[in-house]
Amino acid sequence: MVTGAAGGLGAFVARRLHAQGHRVVLADIAIEDATAVAAELSADGSTAMALELDVSHKANFESALAEIEKVWGTPSIVVNNAARTQTADVLTVGEEEFTEVLNTNVNSIFFGCQVFGSAMADNGFGRIVNLASLAGQNGGTATGAHYAASKGAILTATKVFARELAGRGVTVNAIAPGPLDLPVFRKTIPADKVDAMIGGIPVGRLGDPAFVADMVALLTAENAYFATGACWDVNGGLYVR
């Protein structure tokens, strides 16, 4: 299952895993777009299906798991990608806006790991990849403080669940991309600042979302059992550690 799979990075990941031979559930609140991508991958629905999912609430993950189990059983791979990307001034961001971003970005990871991770652990195998962000490592530059805070929380939750599930065959890793060549980048960054943003990246260009999808495929492989609890950076040299 890939959350936030109706477009953007999630769609790249879903296509990559499907090409690798996996049956893929494309979960998204934008069900019409998710359905279109699923139909593109599998016209008869035998290897790809769309599922409406609001990742802000635990009960929705429980319902999603039940629906998937009816069709294909417990997933062996979960990619927690769904997120709300917004900019806001740190000193004036309102409580409602802050809560909405945190509920989407943190609840999705925590309850995705909790609900699906538990089911995977019962089967003795699972691979979870959480999409964090450079903003959660360096405090954010172009994104809002609430977004950066949420992505920092994802890094901690990844460690918590990695430790909890490691002995039961389930790995949990995070990937922290920097700016990727996706529509959300140009939607978030004012047009007059795009060139300066790209110019500030040491490698001089935006990241390739297809490469991040490749990283997901690598971390979800059967022989990836020794990689868990880690944050995998892909940021063009913006954050070196």
| Active site positions, annotated | 147
**Do 197 and 204 meet the contact criterion of CB atoms below 8 Å apart?**
no
**Do 75 and 123 meet the contact criterion of CB atoms below 8 Å apart?**
no
Residue 190, number of CB atoms within 10 A of its CB:
11
Rounded-to-integer distance, Cα 169 and Cα 179, Å: 32
Sheet with strand 126-131: strands edge to edge:
48-52, 24-28, 2-3, 77-80, 126-131, 170-177, 231-234
- 3-state class (DSSP) for residue 7: coil
C-alpha distance from residue 202 to each of 87, 155, 186 (Å):
23, 24, 19
**Residue 74 tokens, joined:** 């417990």
Closest CA to 198 of 209, 186, 187: 186
Side chain identity, residue 166: A
**Do 185 and 179 meet the contact criterion of CB atoms below 8 Å apart?**
yes
- 3-state class (DSSP) for residue 207: strand
